[in-house]
A and B are shown apart, each in its own frame.
Chain A
Amino acid sequence: GNSVTQMEGPVTLSEEAFLTINCTYTATGYPSLFWYVQYPGEGLQLLLKATKADDKGSNKGFEATYRKETTSFHLEKGSVQVSDSAVYFCAHQGDGGTSYGKLTFGQGTILTVHP
């Protein structure tokens, strides 16, 4: 079945460090891929997305590239800030049929950035 696996956290970094959060998926067809961010006590916000192979999603300094050959969508940022501290979720969305628009999420990775 469809699934998403994220690297286990928590991840603790110093400000300005490089960030990578790994994400791999299993799915049929050609899903769309997403990264969502959840700040404490809040709902999920879309961070970036990619809808086809080799697409690169980017936003607020974060990037992720849709790698169909490795079924991966790793999140990266060159220089993290304290304000990036949050929980990050990788997700995929089916390409229609019975999957409709529902999202399958990874378990989330807690990121803490220290000054």
Chain B
Amino acid sequence: NAGVMQNPRHLVRRRGQEARLRCSPMKGHSHVYWYRQLPEEGLKFMVYLQKENIIDESGMPKERFSAEFPKEGPSILRIQQVVRGDSAAYFCASSWGTGSIGTEAFFGQGTRLTVV
């Protein structure tokens, strides 16, 4: 059973371009979370999705960022018109459920976005 797969591992974009980050959750997992790790900081929650639904996007910047998790295929985090401040590591996590029993979230290896 493969773990959470993220691609690409490294992504370089020029200012103003679009970045598309992909995340395939573990088999059987229908809950996906995206987190951003800025240099020298911890991870910050961005968005929580279930299949075809955005459940909580309270951590997403209001502009240029969007996320989806279609019925078929990976979850996509899309950043339009990237700026240097978007340079960070973006981690995806998946779980089979949520709630009060400490459901473990499994993390991918991350996509390191560099905006030049």
Contacts and interface: CB of A to CB of B under 8 A. Distances in A.
- A-B complex: 7 closest residue pairs judged by Cβ atoms: A101-B98, A32-B102, A51-B102, A105-B42, A43-B107, A95-B100, A43-B109
A101 B44 contact: no
Interface in A59-115: 89, 93, 95-96, 98, 100-108
B42 A44 contact: no
A89 B102 CA distance: 16
Interface of A: 30, 32, 34, 36, 41-46, 49-51, 89, 93, 95-96, 98, 100-108
A101 B109 contact: no
B48 A100 contact: yes
Given A43-B107, A102-B33, A32 B48 contact: no
Contacts of B41: 107-108
Tell which of B31, B44, B100 has the most Cβ of chain A within 10 Å: B100
B99 A49 contact: no
Interface of B: 4, 6, 31, 33, 35, 41-45, 48, 55-56, 91, 93, 95, 97-110
Given A30-B100, A43-B107, A46-B104, A101 B95 contact: yes
B75 to A, nearest CB: 15
A25 B42 CA distance: 14
Contacts, number: 75
B95 to A, nearest CB: 6
Given A101-B48, A101-B95, A102-B48, A44 B43 contact: yes
Given A49-B104, A104-B45, 18 more contacts: A46-B104, A46-B106, A51-B102, A89-B43, A96-B98, A98-B56, A100-B55, A101-B31, A101-B33, A101-B48, A101-B99, A101-B105, A102-B56, A103-B35, A103-B93, A105-B35, A105-B44, A108-B41
A56 to B, nearest CB: 14
Nearest to B50: A100
A2 B48 CA distance: 17
Nearest to B100: A95
B45 A103 contact: yes
